Amino acid sequence: MELNGAQIVIQSLKDEGVEYIFGYPGGAVLHLYDALFQQDEVKHILVRHEQGATHAADGYARATGKPGVVLVTSGPGATNAVTGIATAYMDSIPMVVISGQVPLPVIGSDAFQEVDMVGITRPCVKHNFLVKDVNKLAETIKKAFYVATTGRPGPVVVDVPKDITDPRIKVPYKYPKKVSIRSYNPAVSGHKGQIKKAVDLLLTAQKPIIYSGGGVVLGEASKELTEFAHTLGFPITNTLMGLGAYPATDKQFVGMLGMHGTYEANMAMHDSDVIIAIGARFDDRVTGKLDEFCPHAQIIHIDVDPASISKTVKVAIPIVGEVKPVLEQMLEMIRESKKKPSKKALESWWKQIDQWRAVKCMEYDRSSQLIKPQYVIEQLYEVTKGEAYVTSDVGQHQMWAAQYYPFDKPRHWINSGGLGTMGFGLPAAIGVKLAFPDSDVACVTGDGSIQMCIQELSTALQYNAPVKIINLNNSYLGMVRQWQEFSYESRYSHSYMDTIPDFVKLTEAYGHVGMRIDKPEDVRPALEEAFAMKDRTVFLDILTDRTENVYPMIEAGKAHNDMTLRVADGTSTDRELA
Amino acid sequence: MRHIISILIENESGALSRVAGLFSARGYNIESLTVAPTEDPSLSRMTLVTRGSDDIIEQITKQLNKLIDVVKLIDLVESVHIERELMMVKIRTTEHTREEIRGMADIFRGKIIDVTPTTYVVEMTGPSSKLDAFIAAIDGDSIIEVVRSGPTGISRGEKGLHL
Ligand SMILES: Cc1cc2nc3c(=O)[nH]c(=O)nc-3n(C[C@H](O)[C@H](O)[C@H](O)COP(=O)(O)OP(=O)(O)OC[C@H]3O[C@@H](n4cnc5c(N)ncnc54)[C@H](O)[C@@H]3O)c2cc1C
Ligand SMILES: Cc1ncc(C[n+]2csc(CCOP(=O)(O)OP(=O)(O)O)c2C)c(N)n1
Ligand SMILES: [Mg+2]
């Protein structure tokens, strides 16, 4: 088959099984858009801003496990995509971004809409390519998908100069079934000796804890993780990125750990003698003060990326490999082992954990006349029966969604953890809804964040992707305000906007349904009404208690056992329990 | 500690900037960096001298290995190895310093490869410390220019860095 470059790109995407491509046209990709026009297998979603394209593709990828695909033009189209590429990079999300580039002969001449996309994205991609020969185009696209989806996943950029897609130049086309790259061989199964050592250590632990993260979601190992935890009877905590990888309603789950984690999770980490970290990367939001991180623990770490291991915290037993096969191997060894976890030790460990649980760190004032954001999330959970896909933006609302919506399934909690990108939630929700049109998709957002990609309301209408937007409107950049309250004697420097738009009217202008809710008793009925409108995008502008803070909190530079908890009168306290 | 990391890397445009970018983005220090093609035209060999604690060097080698273009690497300092650097020094001479400089170049097994009535260019190879010693041995005021290639190295014995 002979095809021109533009057709090769589109045909390669078809052969790769790509369903959706999120993009925005422009000069450098006109040939590509012409080829797109002449087929209807790959569906193109025209966003309203290239950042939206990357987040939508990212949401699609997080919900499905398949790579998200983006198409943008050169110059400003490419730079607009960078924030979304970096967002995917920080959370290890598989994504392939095809960017147009000026024709090869004029590269380097400051041509119209030229930017060095390969240079700009180098530090925030897993890899990138500049295509210099149309004969290598199909193979390069195959390599891009291969790199993006294997090992530790991540975004890959393919920069395609306009002359490479010239419709007049046809070359033989064959999409490779497989590619190999001699310098790229990600580990799969772990080292058997190391796994054996880890199992021995686990079976002698007195105060063990499982600390699992996004790697379990990415590695599709929820089933294995659940079985592993049940077999051992150990407590388990998840990172923000790992939520849903283990059923949050299970009794062994002690909640999220880290800066806004539960009291019991952080205390258990601090007091533990053996930690097994599974697909988690010891982020600073999780560890708090490094010198005082888990002072008594021996640590086992399973990660597919050797560079994640002993990066910030030294571990005793590193295991480089994919979580799924490693956990399978561990389970087998545990079952075959004559040693069993010490029942007595575990009993007293659980007793201790139950005492920490009794602190009830997640309680909040349920009798308030104001709408409490936590209450909204609890109601959202009930109305959606815990089965919705929930995307979020970044801020206090993100933490409340993570804390008060117990996710039982992986790939249902979709948020930007590593980069913390405001503007992520709405486009991501659209990507999810396109992938799962029959499921409820909610975007929990804030009055600040939603304005960063609000233009995508228009995309939701055009492609019939009805999502429910839950705007926890506190008229503040609340997370910033909270830090200013705690650390800057309440000097609220620019964390307040006094011209927040009328979101109801704005939503209506975009062709959707808007509702404003300002009384606690209206929250539940409004949510029910919104979710009953299956084919409409509904924006719930919920005016919440403006002064509410996220608790518990480990303030910057503090250790796990030095948390700030909420006290009954609504003020916070430093609480040091040992 | 000082480490000499020897890297086989795909001979592709942009490969060098990936390595250099990694060092600047992650705040690792680079003392010197040399790159040249190898007998296999698809590969380049890079020699990079860096300093850091064991933890940092471990991260550096892991992060380098993560770059898709990096095919293989070794830290030469981990085993017996030979290190060589090329240096050319342009020295201002007077009638009565010429002999002394020639003598010094001899002691260090340097060669004088350019002569004018008022200057010498001395060429010298050796481990970086030897080149440092030569510089220290001559009067600093007479040095017009020092050009150093940065060290490269190879391990001793049968072991080698190849595909
Ligand atoms: C406002 C805000 C507050 C936050 N507060 C918290 C908080 O309180 N608690 C918290 O936990 N986080 C919090 N975060 C998120 C935090 O910044 C990090 O994003 C998060 O902790 C990282 O999660 P993770 O360790 O699971 O790693 P991820 O970023 O999910 O990385 C996954 C790890 O698994 C590995 N991996 C990937 N695939 C596989 C596989 N198949 N097999 C094996 N390994 C694999 C990767 O190499 C990587 O090391 C917050 C973020 C924001 C924006
Ligand atoms: C693009 C971007 N800019 C700035 C920030 C810093 N930041 C983190 S949370 C936050 C406030 C978010 O406000 P809002 O969306 O209203 O959420 P709230 O905290 O009030 O729930 C800001 C500004 C960020 N995370 N992302
Ligand atoms: Mg707000």
Q: What is the pLDDT of residue A436?
A: 98
Q: What is the pLDDT of residue B4?
A: 97
**Containing domain of residue A115, as a range?**
2-172
Distance from CA of B85 to the nearest CA of A (A): 28
Residues A394 and A508 in one domain: yes
* Position A107 in a domain: yes
Q: Which is it for strands A170-172 and A2-4: parallel, antiparallel or unpaired?
A: antiparallel
The CATH number assigned to the domain holding A98 equals 3.40.50.970
Number of domains forming the structure of chain A: 3
Residues A457 and A539 in one domain: yes
B2-78 and B82-153 agree in CATH topology: yes
- Which of residues A331, A357, A383 is at a domain's end? A357
The answer to whether the CB of B105 falls within 8 A of the CB of B112 is yes
Using CA atoms, how far residue A95 sits from A21, A58, A223, B65, in Å, is 11, 7, 25, 21
Say how far apart CA A181 and CA A310 lie, in whole Å: 27
> Is A50 labeled as catalytic in the residue annotation?
yes
Residues A88 and A30 in one domain: yes
Ligand 1, CB cutoff 6 Å, lining residues: A 91-92, 152, 213-215, 218-219, 239-242, 256-261, 279-281, 283, 285-286, 302-305, 308, 322-323, 394, 398-399, 417-418, 420, 479
Contact residues on chain B for A184, CB-CB shorter than 8 A: 68
Provide the token pair at A436: 């799962």
Close Cβ partners of A140 (under 8 Å, ≥ 6 residues apart): A129, A131, A158
The answer to whether the CB of A410 falls within 8 A of the CB of A222 is yes
The answer to whether the CB of A60 falls within 8 A of the CB of A66 is yes
> Is A533 labeled as catalytic in the residue annotation?
no
Contact residues on chain A for B61, CB-CB shorter than 8 A: none
Say how far apart CA A65 and CA A44 lie, in whole Å: 19
* Position A560 in a domain: no
The answer to whether the CB of A281 falls within 8 A of the CB of A308 is yes
pLDDT tens digit at each of 163 positions of chain B: 999 999 999 999 899 999 999 999 999 999 999 999 999 999 999 999 999 999 999 999 999 999 999 999 999 999 999 999 999 999 999 999 999 999 999 999 999 999 999 999 999 999 999 999 999 999 999 999 999 999 999 999 988 898 8
Residues A220 and A136 in one domain: no
Query: Which CATH number does the domain B82-153 belong to among 3.30.70.1150, 3.30.428.10, 3.40.50.300, 3.50.50.60?
Result: 3.30.70.1150
Q: Does A186 touch chain B (CB under 8 A)?
A: no
Residues A14 and A128 in one domain: yes
- Which of residues A172, A204, A220 is at a domain's end? A172
| B2-78: CATH architecture | 2-Layer Sandwich (3.30)
* Other Cβ atoms within 10 Å of A572 Cβ, number: 19
Residue spans of beta strands (DSSP E) within A358-497: 389-392, 413-414, 441-446, 468-473
Burial A171-187 (b: 16+ CB within 10 A, else e): bebebeeeeeeebbebb
Closest CA to A179 of A149, A213, A153: A149
A23, with CB counted inside 10 A (0-12, 13-18, 19+), is: buried
Region of A317 on the Ramachandran plot (φ > 0 left; ψ -120 to 50 alpha; else beta)? beta
Q: What is the pLDDT of residue B160?
A: 87
Say how far apart CA A26 and CA A20 lie, in whole Å: 19
Close Cβ partners of A509 (under 8 Å, ≥ 6 residues apart): none
Closest CA to B70 of B133, B7, B119, B141: B7
Residue in the block written with tokens 């930007």? A416
C-alpha A212 to ligand 1 mean position (Å): 9
The answer to whether the CB of A402 falls within 8 A of the CB of A240 is yes
Q: What is the pLDDT of residue B163?
A: 85
> What is residue A152's three-state secondary structure?
coil
The CATH number assigned to the domain holding A225 equals 3.40.50.1220
Distance from CA of A310 to the nearest CA of B (A): 8
Residues A420 and A337 in one domain: no
| Contact across the interface for B71 and A127, Cβ inside 8 Å | no
* Position A184 in a domain: no
Q: What is the pLDDT of residue A566?
A: 87
* Position A366 in a domain: no
Residues A297 and A222 in one domain: yes
Q: What is the pLDDT of residue A571?
A: 55
Using CA atoms, how far residue A278 sits from A219, A220, A239, B108, in Å, is 10, 12, 10, 56
Residues A52 and A166 in one domain: yes
Question: Per the confidence metrics, is the pTM higher than 0.95?
Answer: yes
Closest CA to A156 of A104, A99, A107: A99
Distance from CA of A309 to the nearest CA of B (A): 9
**Domain extents for chain B?**
2-78, 82-153
Q: What is the pLDDT of residue A578?
A: 34
* Position A248 in a domain: yes
Say how far apart CA A356 and CA A336 lie, in whole Å: 34
Rg over CA atoms, chain A: 24
Smallest Cβ–Cβ distance between B63 and the set A147, A307, A314 belongs to: A307
Q: What is the pLDDT of residue A572?
A: 55
Q: What is the pLDDT of residue A568?
A: 57
Ligand 2, CB cutoff 6 Å, lining residues: A 393-397, 420-422, 446-449, 472, 474, 476-480
Cis ω on the peptide bond leading into residue A552 (within 30° of 0)?
yes
> What is residue B89's three-state secondary structure?
strand
> Is A329 labeled as catalytic in the residue annotation?
no
Residues A108 and A232 in one domain: no
A272, with CB counted inside 10 A (0-12, 13-18, 19+), is: buried
Residues A515 and A424 in one domain: yes
Interface of B with A in 20-49 (CB under 8 A): 21, 25
Smallest Cβ–Cβ distance between A122 and the set B18, B63, B65 belongs to: B18
Q: Vertex A516, ends A514 and A517: CA angle to 5°?
A: 140
* Position A105 in a domain: yes
What is the block-wise mean pLDDT of chain A (578 residues), using blocks of 10 residues?
A: 97 98 98 98 98 98 98 98 98 98 98 98 98 98 98 98 98 97 93 97 98 98 98 98 98 98 97 98 94 95 97 96 98 96 97 97 95 98 98 98 98 98 98 98 98 98 98 98 95 94 98 98 98 98 97 92 78 47
Q: Vertex B142, ends B139 and B144: CA angle to 5°?
A: 130
Q: Does B71 touch chain A (CB under 8 A)?
A: yes
What DSSP element (H or E) covers B52?
none
The answer to whether the CB of B49 falls within 8 A of the CB of B150 is yes
| Contact across the interface for B163 and A127, Cβ inside 8 Å | no
Q: What ipTM was reported for this prediction?
A: 0.93
Residues A266 and A414 in one domain: no
Residues A394 and A352 in one domain: no
Closest CA to A554 of A238, A293, A254, A249: A293
Ligand number with the minimum distance to the CA of A51: 2
Query: Which amino acid type is present at position B115?
Result: V
Distance from CA of B13 to the nearest CA of A (A): 9
Contact residues on chain A for B14, CB-CB shorter than 8 A: 118, 122, 130
The answer to whether the CB of A158 falls within 8 A of the CB of A128 is yes
Using CA atoms, how far residue B14 sits from A116, A128, B9, B34, B89, in Å, is 11, 10, 11, 15, 32
Q: What is the pLDDT of residue A575?
A: 45
- Which of residues A172, A203, A226 is at a domain's end? A172
